[in-house]
């Protein structure tokens, strides 16, 4: 069992490193990455208690697959929103890059996955299949966290350019909730039907494509914005207005 725990944590560390490499514009310090993972871990612990209370209060049984999946998907999505908002409010100076919401959301999602994986590993026999399931869980929660983080980050980042698009925000949140619901609905049934075995892989592929598209979109936003050091130098030399003009031109050329 200890080996399975260690392998899961190694996979989580590798995934965190992979995610962190995508922050190419104004890279966040390593301690902020660890903080995001820790906040995600705590958020999932709290979400678990809220889920148990809600399911009990609503008298939703284990066989009520759709109702259980809906409750869990919405509560954990709200936990992701709260986690990203907390980072944005508590560490406002650090939350200044178009990629920040997506990065912190993804790392927070990884923390949520680690907490949930530790719980399920304590309840399941230590087998290679168990490890495979938990690795998939790490990816799924991280990607869903990235979608929610991007949606929230577009609104809380100061002086955001181009202006946030409500339809993009709603789309990201809807995809995250829908995928989470579908994933849990399939998992709760514990079916051996081929179609239900393939669907989670399709959902994972769809999440990866959407996440990659958001990274590309946020990177384009970041390239239209001067780095912090460049802004400081421009202001000191009296060239701030020119920089802002260039920034505005770069922003207006972007589209979804």
Tens digit of each residue's pLDDT, the chain (256 residues): 566 667 777 777 887 777 777 766 677 788 888 999 999 999 999 999 999 999 999 999 889 999 999 999 999 999 999 999 998 888 887 777 778 888 899 999 999 999 998 888 888 776 777 777 788 888 899 999 999 999 988 888 655 566 778 898 999 999 999 999 998 998 888 777 767 778 878 888 888 899 989 888 888 877 765 544 344 434 444 444 444 444 444 433 433 4
Q: What was the pLDDT predicted at 231?
A: 45
Q: What was the pLDDT predicted at 249?
A: 44
Q: Is residue 249 part of a domain?
A: no
Helix (H, G, I), strand (E, B) or coil at 106: helix
Q: What was the pLDDT predicted at 235?
A: 44
Q: Which domain holds residue 154?
A: 2-223
Q: Is residue 244 part of a domain?
A: no
**Alpha-carbon distances, residue 170 vs 41, 62, 112, 177, 191 (angstroms):** 25, 30, 22, 11, 32
Q: Is residue 230 part of a domain?
A: no
Q: What was the pLDDT predicted at 155?
A: 85
- Judge contact between 188 and 68, C-beta under 8 A: yes
Q: Is residue 231 part of a domain?
A: no
Radius of gyration (C-alpha) of the chain in whole angstroms: 20
d(CA 256, CA 219): 13
Q: Is residue 246 part of a domain?
A: no
The model's pTM: 0.79
Residue with tokens 């051996």: 192
- Judge contact between 95 and 156, C-beta under 8 A: yes
Q: What was the pLDDT predicted at 194?
A: 67
Q: What was the pLDDT predicted at 158?
A: 56
Counting the structural domains of the chain, the total is 1
Q: Is residue 203 part of a domain?
A: yes
Give the DSSP H/E element, type plus range, for residue 119.
helix 100-123
Q: What was the pLDDT predicted at 132?
A: 78
d(CA 94, CA 35): 13
């Amino acid at each position: 069992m200890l080996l399975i725990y260690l392998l899961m944590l190694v996979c989580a560390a590798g995934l965190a490193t992979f995610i962190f490499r995508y922050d190419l514009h104004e890279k966040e310090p390593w301690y902020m990455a660890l903080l995001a993972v820790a906040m995600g871990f705590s958020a999932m612990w709290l979400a678990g208690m809220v889920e148990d209370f809600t399911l009990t209060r609503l008298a939703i049984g284990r066989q009520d697959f759709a109702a259980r999946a809906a409750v869990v998907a919405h509560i954990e999505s709200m936990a992701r929103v709260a986690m990203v908002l907390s980072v944005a409010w508590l560490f406002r100076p650090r939350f200044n890059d178009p990629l920040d919401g997506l990065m912190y959301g993804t790392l927070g999602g990884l923390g949520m996955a680690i907490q949930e994986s530790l719980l399920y590993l304590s309840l399941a026999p230590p087998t290679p299949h168990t490890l495979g399931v938990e690795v998939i869980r790490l990816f799924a929660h991280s990607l869903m966290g990235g979608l929610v983080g991007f949606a929230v980050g577009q609104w809380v980042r100061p002086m955001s350019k181009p202006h946030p698009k409500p339809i993009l925000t709603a789309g990201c949140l809807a995809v995250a909730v829908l995928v989470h619901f579908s994933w849990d609905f399939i998992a709760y049934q514990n079916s051996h039907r081929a179609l239900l075995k393939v669907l989670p892989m399709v959902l994972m592929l769809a999440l990866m494509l959407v996440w990659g598209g958001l990274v590309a979109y946020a990177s384009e936003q970041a390239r239209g914005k001067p780095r912090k050091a460049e802004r400081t130098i421009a202001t000191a030399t009296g060239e701030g207005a020119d920089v802002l003009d260039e920034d505005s031109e770069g922003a207006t050329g972007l589209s979804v």
